[in-house]
Structure 1
Amino acid sequence: MAEYIRDCSRRPPEDFLGLLGRKVKVLLDERFEPQDIRVALERLRAKGLHPSVLPSLVNEVVNAAPQAASVPSSASGAGPWASTSTSRYTPYLNPTEPTTFGGRL
């Protein structure tokens, strides 16, 4: 908790810290690694979130899927859905085909 408070520009309210402390204790009692909790606390502080989301952030830290190296991404960094390569996605209803919607939109 001292690390969290030290990294804040201003000390959070006591109610906030009390709830956060209880959440940290529960996570430690559930045998989550202190380093995983530290990472989640940093995300919580950076995003300005409510202490009640700390368990979700810890879950995100410990269960985050690693980035697949073979997934193509666009030059903009927007991800595979923005890739310029040929897409395997086919829309369910393609309005450019005359048979879709009876030829009308």
Structure 2
Amino acid sequence: MLDSADAGEWSAKRLMAEYLRGCSRRPPRNFLGHLGREIRQLLDEGFEPDALRPALERLRTKGLHPSVLPSLVNEALNALPTTPVGSGPSSASGAGPWAAASPAYTPYLNPTEPTGTFGVAL
């Protein structure tokens, strides 16, 4: 039976092998050593391999440095779901949904109100 250190090492090696299969050319040895250490540290912290796989995929496709792997894992686990454009309230200024709470005057959307140069009738 494998102890937890062997299981972690086996998982780190397996994740590295999966990473390498996705590469068109083998990365430098120094890069792979650093990436292996980052993977091992994350596994030792209790992160599951399934949590690391999307981060490793993003690291590979974007060509990022191994030191950003913890940030990518955090992003994958804790990122808020994005809402599609046009699905929620918005404002013409692009200031977000909080800016659309009141029906404020927007001159380029409502050119007939108020008249005059400065927005008032003179």
Within 5 Å, which residues of 2 pair with 1:1-105?
1-68=16-83, 73-74=85-86, 88=100
Instruction: Give the 3-state SS of the residue equivalent to 1:28 in structure 2.
Output: helix
Residues paired across the two proteins, number:
86
CA separation of 1:37/1:80 partners in 2, compared to 1, >3 Å: closer, same or farther? farther
Residue deviations 1:48-101 (CA, integer Å, cap 9, x gap)? 100000000000011111245xxx6249xxx976879x95289xxxxxxx6xxx
The question of whether the paired residues in 2 share the 8 Å contact of 1:73 and 1:80 is answered with: no
Quick check: which has more Rg, 1 or 2? Answer: 2
**TM-score, length-normalised on structure 2?**
0.59
TM-score, scaled relative to structure 1: 0.67
2:47 partner SS? coil
Q: Distance in 2 between matches of 1:13 and 1:82?
A: 48
Cα–Cα, structure 1 residues 2 and 80, in superposed 2: closer, same or farther, change >3 Å? farther
Taking the aligned partners of 2:31 and 2:89, their CA distance within structure 1 comes to 39
Contact 2:35 2:67 in 1 (8 A): yes
Given the superposition, is the C-alpha separation of residues 18 and 89 from structure 1 closer, same or farther in structure 2, using an over 3 Å criterion?
Answer: farther
State the distance in 2 between where 1:26 and 1:59 align.
14
User: Are residues 24 and 88 of structure 1, via their aligned partners in 2, closer, same or farther at CA, if it must alter by over 3 Å?
Assistant: same
Match of 1:103 in 2: none
Asked whether the 8 Å contact 1:41–1:54 carries over to 2, the reply is yes
Equivalent position amino acid for 1:21 in 2: G
